[in-house]
Amino acid sequence: MFETLKEQPADKILMLMQAFKEDPREQKIDLGVGVYKDASGNTPIMRAIKTAEQQLWQAETTKSYTGLAGDPAFGDAMIRLVLGDAVPRANVAAAAQPGGTGAVRQGFDLIRQANPGARVFVSDPTWPNHLSILKHMGIEMVPYRYFDDDTRGVAFDAMLEDIGQARKGDVVLLHGCCHNPTGANLNITQWKEVVASLQKTGATPMIDIAYQGFGDGLEDDAAATRLIASSLPECLIAASCSKNFGIYRERTGILMAVSQDAGAQKLNQGTLNYLNRQNFSFPPDHGARLVTMILNDDALRADWQAEVEDMRKLMLTLREQLASELQRLSGSDRFGFIAQHRGMFSRLGATPEQVEKMRVDHGIYMVGDSRLNIAGLNKTSVPILAQAIVDAGV
C-alpha cells in the first residue's frame, strides 16, 4: 500500500535550517528559524526553569499519567497568565497540548467537530503551519488581508472588510500579539473594532498566542485576548510556552475554550478530554509541571518575569539598532517600521530575489517572504544585515 503515498512538500523553514548548516562560510547569519537567541547566539535554558527542574528532580515521586487534560494546576496557572480575571475560571475549559502547534491542531479539530462546514478565516500572511494543518484536515480556509506591503503595517480597513464576510459558524483566526510573520500588530482601538465586527457577524474567534511577553510585556500582550474573551459569547485560545519559557523541546502548550455560559464548561471540557484521548491520550507533563511550579512560586515567577523582560528589551534594542543603521546607510527613514514592529519577527517587504541575493552575497538566511527573526541578531551582526539589505536594493 505504501506505493500509493505521494511525496509531501518540504517545510521551507526546515529546508532553510539545513541549507544554513551546510553553508561553509564562517560569517553567516541564521534569521530563519523562530527561536530566541541571546547576544552570544545561544538559546539558553532560563534560570527559573533550571531551578524548577532541580526542585522537581528532588520532589518527583512518580512518572505515572496525570489526566486526559493534563495536570489541572497547569490549566489553572495558564488561564491566570493568559486571561487574568477577564472571565470567571468556571467559564473556561482547558487541556494541555504538545506545544502551541498541538493546541492549534486540537483547536481546529474541535471546530471541525462542532461545525464540519466551518470556514476558518486566516490572516494573509500567517504562520505557514496554520495553512498546512487546515489543508491537511480538509477545512476550508479563507484569507483576510492583513499586511500592507507599502507601509509594512496592518492593512486594517482591508482586514475589517474581509473578516466582515464571516458568518455565524465560521471562525476567525487571530494572532494574540507579536504577529508571525510580519511583526505588525493591532492597537487596542483596532482590537475593539475587530470585536465589534465579530459581535455583528456571529463568527467565533480563535486566538493563537505564542509570544506573550515578547512584545510590550506580559500584561499588555494579553490585553487583546482578554478583551475578546470577555466581550464575545465564546472563543478558543491556543497558547504556547515554548518561547516565553524557553522550553521548545518540551512541547508545552494549552487549548482553552471560553464560554460566557458557565453551563457550557462541562461539555466543553469533556470534548477537549475526548479529543486528547483520540489523538495522544495523555499530554506530556514535564514542561507543563515546570511552568506550573514557576507560575505558582513567587520567587521563581519574579525571576522568570525579569528574564522575559530582559529578552523583550534585547529584541527592542536590536530593532532600534537595525532601523538606525539602515537609516544611516540608506539615507531614508523607510525602515522605521522595524522599530515599531513587536515580537521576534519582522517582514521586510523584500522580494524572493532580494532575499536570495542577501543569502548568496552575505550569508544572510531568512525565509523567502523576507520574514527575519530579530532574536537571531546581535550587535555585531546588525551592521552586516543592514548592509546586505541596502546592497540588495530593498
Told to judge if 21 belongs to the known catalytic residues of this protein, a careful annotator would answer no
Strands 371-373 and 252-259: unpaired
C-alpha span between 230 and 95 (Å, rounded): 20
Whether residues 132 and 234 fall in one domain: yes
Q: In sequence order, which residues have a C-beta less than 8 Å from that of residue 257 and are 6 or more positions away? A: 92, 93, 94, 110, 234, 235, 236, 268, 269, 271, 272
The reported pLDDT for the residue numbered 82 is: 98
Domain boundary among 263, 296, 329: 296
The reported pLDDT for the residue numbered 42 is: 87
Peptide bond into 9 cis (omega under 30): no
The CATH number of the domain holding residue 346 is 3.90.1150.10
Max Cα–Cα distance, the chain, nearest Å: 63
Number of domains, the chain: 2
Domain boundary among 236, 261, 296: 296
- Answer whether 336's CB lies under 8 Å from 323's CB: yes
The reported pLDDT for the residue numbered 34 is: 86
Which residues span the domain enclosing 345?
11-45+309-391
The CATH number of the domain holding residue 258 is 3.40.640.10
The reported pLDDT for the residue numbered 9 is: 83
Q: Which of 210, 222, 257, 375 is catalytic?
A: 210
Answer whether residue 362 is part of any domain. Answer: yes
- Cell numbers at 97, concatenated: 497540548
Answer whether residue 55 is part of any domain. Answer: no
Told to judge if 30 belongs to the known catalytic residues of this protein, a careful annotator would answer no
Told to judge if 361 belongs to the known catalytic residues of this protein, a careful annotator would answer no
Q: In sequence order, which residues have a C-beta less than 8 Å from that of residue 386 and are 6 or more positions away? A: 322, 325, 326, 329
Whether residues 184 and 224 fall in one domain: yes
Whether residues 92 and 18 fall in one domain: no
Q: Which of 77, 93, 95, 127 is catalytic?
A: 127
The reported pLDDT for the residue numbered 15 is: 86
Residue spans of alpha helices (H) in 280-394? 286-295, 298-330, 337-340, 352-362, 381-391
Answer whether residue 277 is part of any domain. Answer: yes
Whether residues 78 and 150 fall in one domain: yes
- High-pLDDT (> 70) share of the chain, %: 100
- Spell out the per-residue pLDDT of the chain, length 394, in tens: 999 999 988 788 888 888 899 999 988 999 988 899 887 888 999 999 999 999 999 999 999 999 999 999 999 999 999 999 999 999 999 999 999 999 999 999 999 999 999 999 999 999 999 999 999 999 999 999 999 999 999 999 999 999 999 999 999 999 999 999 999 999 999 999 999 999 999 999 999 999 999 999 999 999 999 999 999 999 999 999 999 999 999 999 999 999 999 899 999 999 999 999 999 999 999 999 999 999 999 999 999 999 999 999 999 999 999 999 999 999 999 999 999 999 999 999 999 999 999 999 999 999 999 999 999 999 999 999 999 999 999 9
Told to judge if 57 belongs to the known catalytic residues of this protein, a careful annotator would answer no
Q: Which of 109, 170, 208, 285 is catalytic?
A: 208
Q: Which of 48, 69, 93, 243 is catalytic?
A: 243
The reported pLDDT for the residue numbered 8 is: 87
Domain boundary among 240, 263, 296: 296
The reported pLDDT for the residue numbered 14 is: 82
Residues 247-296: pLDDT tens digits?
999 999 999 999 999 899 999 999 999 999 999 999 999 999 999 999 99
Strands 371-373 and 234-240: unpaired
